[in-house]
A and B are shown apart, each in its own frame.
Chain A
């Protein structure tokens, strides 16, 4: 049986080392090896977006990345979105716009929405809906999520 692999990576700006089996997903490693449970599992096959993280500058579903693939990469997760000074404008907008109900999809939405606004600060409703189509929410009907992202855009420009 194959043994554990030593992986050196960077998570939320911090150099991080861990051991994992090659068959373990990055999602598993984050949650079960590193105890970073902010990233959620909803489907484990890339179709819900709850496990969205930034992986070398792009959003990915961490269930479809192997933990061993993190070697030498830059990863950021929901735990890295807020700063010591406070919440990120996207997080603040989600709170103020009641853009979450149960909250299980929220970390994935926030990571994805932040990635969009970092790249496209003027994304319109259609683009936001397109960008977030890989993130399923069953509670809100998306209305308040989309409004929150639009609101965050305004906040980030101000």
Chain B
């Protein structure tokens, strides 16, 4: 039995092969430089003082004792942020956005979550900095917190912002509220659809706040030079996003901010927002020394983005033949302290796997006294899928229809219009469902009591956005590839492979380097499954640019019209004169003497979507005495379009699955009644260990994306979507009662068993 299957359609020379990653040796020997590893002359260490309260007014801050503490070089509070001296008149339409951004980085009038920064210190060591922050006196007036969407949506709820008005389907309401926005998608006629149904089920769901759980804590080192040049070294998924954030918050010209992305120890969406960078910059400005800030693990949990807790309702109608006729969905997502939950994405993903003629989706973005949520792998989609797929599973049970068969009858395919508008191009959901049905896992019956099997599908958009790549030809026939995409999971390899394939040279002849924001064109975050797709595209275009210039050079050397020269398989040849032929390497050697070096450059912003789908199968066993769930077997099927580097595609699938398993079973922010997180450590925030898991089997389906030269779709997001419903359904089948709240930890399963 093969554990990792690749159902390949097209073979290439370099693309699709399992090469060693270029940064691999540095990463297995400890030489790779991550954000916390930065060392600079005169480097100070900083610490951030954070609110112990979930919701309070800041009455006063006294930093005098900290400033007087030996070894302290600078102390900052929100008063040092430019926003403190700007008015609504200065900022106009940007006022609220900048106020939220500035106050998120450091609270001014109110603290909105436990862990909210209120002051920071730079000192000769982290211990001295810690001593100093303990000397800062803050007077708070504690306010009752609103901790869940249900609480926060109550008419008399404690309000986080007195100037936040609901954007009600685009119109601003006139009364302040914790509901930042209400959006809706609608298609067909929902009442008619319900009428056509033979079975209608309505269920309510909840999921808890969970964290991305990257192993490397946030870090940032800044040096604000006397000439106004601000240099930042940090672990981020998006150096250009950090540059924009920092420039915005500090009112500093974007051209005077250089962000150097260090190696990054995981992100999953959580390392996009600038948390520490503006604070480190201000501390550096005040102390005239470089300053490094590191978060502790507790700070990571308490003050960096979790994924939202949710409250959802799904009403679904289907005919007895197993055709979905209507779906009515309510999604309320926690935004955290400031607006911006991924409820819109959740709403757009909720029904994307199915052709639903009549649908209505209402989404609410609700602020609560928790850290501001951040993106987490397919943001919004796993929660929505948990609700929708669970109801589909129950309908299949009621109708006695095989769950894969049911999904095939309703599956989205080319030409189907999504509820929010876009029409699918060629997609691979049907192929994934068929691969799941054909898999040995699906054919093998369960083999014991207290076991259950779950099946679920999932979707992510896989949009492109901007990327830039430069490729320079070296005299020895290799090329240097310069990119702005931080490499979190092997993307140096997958980008280099596409460049090598396009140039017709060996993978080893492409040397990729990730550079700072001064050294490459604008590149969006490494996230959203976009890097191998969009930066890969940029690499292909830069390689095409190199090819064109190589053709021109060959024509010049041969003194022949450009049209006579052909570039194929890494060699240049004259179309009619077989004597005139040069390999890429031979021409590379001649470049400097024939007009200078060659650099290909490209800036891309691919439109259209890669549209990824996955189908997962999971078998679980529940201990009837304790409610503890064991994952017996897991198989993830996914359409990658084209797996540029199959090992790293499998790695994305396996990693996403295991994060989903953690989300489904044990991970959860646990708050006390004052809104303080009680489990802000890896001991009590229970992410899966190696001992909690089986091998995660994969099937890569390749239905080429018509919108990418090699058919790439993007793979990182989809695999975290199906695990929540698949595991919930598997447990439901094992115990005979439905699981409608996650996490399904042992206590919850024990309760569900009755």
Contact = CB atoms under 8 A, between A and B. Distances in A.
Contact of B266 (A102, A129, A147): A102
Contacts of B606: none
Given A42-B217, A91-B29, A103 B263 contact: yes
Contact of B691 (A50, A129, A145, A147): A129
A157 interface: no
Interface in A123-144: 128-130, 132-144
Interface in B663-712: 681-683, 687-691, 693, 695-696
Contacts of A40: 34, 36, 215-216, 265
Contacts of B29: 38, 78-79, 81-82, 87, 91
B340 interface: no
Contacts of A129: 690-691, 693
B30 interface: yes
B21 A97 contact: no
A143 to B, nearest CB: 5
B297 A44 contact: yes
A143 B696 contact: yes
A52 B543 CA distance: 42
A95 B20 contact: yes
**Interface magnitude class on chain A:** 35 or more
Given A79-B30, A138-B268, A144-B650, A95 B21 contact: yes
Contacts, number: 188
A146 to B, nearest CB: 7
Interface in B320-355: none
Nearest to A28: B126
Contacts of B267: 102
B490 interface: yes
Contacts of B648: 98, 101
Contacts of B489: 101-102, 139
B37 A37 contact: yes
A35 interface: yes
A132 B693 CA distance: 12
B374 to A, nearest CB: 15
A72 B2 CA distance: 50
Most buried by A among B23, B659, B690, B695: B690
Interface string B196-236: 00000000000000001111110000000000000000000
A145 B647 CA distance: 12
Interface in A31-62: 31, 35-45, 47-48, 50
A68 interface: no
Contacts of B657: 141
B651 A87 contact: no
Most buried by A among B266, B294, B652, B696: B266
B687 A136 contact: yes
A134 B489 CA distance: 22
A118 interface: no
A6 interface: no
B175 interface: no
A47 B681 contact: yes
Most buried by B among A36, A50, A136: A136
Contacts of A135: 690
A96 B25 CA distance: 11
A100 B267 CA distance: 14
Given A78-B30, A87-B28, A101-B648, A48 B215 contact: yes
Contacts of A24: 127
Contacts of B488: 101-102, 139
Contacts of B263: 102-104
B655 interface: yes
A139 B266 CA distance: 7
A50 B31 CA distance: 15
A146 B645 CA distance: 20
Interface in A1-47: 21, 23-24, 31, 35-45, 47
B24 interface: yes
Given A100-B27, A102-B266, A141 B655 contact: yes
Contact of A101 (B33, B212, B490, B683): B490
A67 interface: no
Given A78-B29, A104-B266, A136 B691 contact: no
Contacts of B658: 140-142
A110 B28 contact: yes
A144 B215 contact: no
B296 interface: yes
B36 to A, nearest CB: 7
A153 B650 CA distance: 22
Given A48-B215, A78-B30, A104-B216, A141 B24 contact: no
Contacts of B654: 140-144
B18 interface: yes
Contacts of B534: none
B264 interface: yes
B39 interface: yes
Contacts of A45: 297, 681-683
Nearest to B24: A95
B591 interface: no
Nearest to B698: A143
Contact of A103 (B36, B265, B688, B693): B265
A38 B581 CA distance: 48
B18 A98 contact: yes
B36 A41 contact: yes
Interface string A79-120: 101100001000100111110111111110010000000000
Contacts of B288: none
Interface in B9-47: 18, 20-21, 23-25, 27-34, 36-37, 39
Contact of B696 (A79, A107, A141): A141
Contacts of B37: 31, 37
Given A95-B25, A98-B651, A103-B263, A42 B18 contact: no
Interface of B: 18, 20-21, 23-25, 27-34, 36-37, 39, 127, 212-217, 263-268, 294, 296-297, 488-490, 645, 647-648, 650-652, 654-659, 681-683, 687-691, 693, 695-696
Shortest beta-carbon contacts, A-B, top 5: A38-B30, A104-B265, A141-B658, A103-B27, A98-B647
Given A82-B29, A138-B214, A138-B655, 19 more contacts: A37-B33, A37-B34, A37-B36, A38-B29, A38-B30, A40-B34, A45-B683, A97-B647, A98-B18, A98-B648, A102-B263, A103-B28, A103-B265, A128-B690, A135-B690, A136-B687, A138-B659, A140-B655, A141-B651
8 contacts: A31-B37, A40-B215, A42-B682, A44-B296, A102-B264, A104-B34, A138-B266, A141-B656
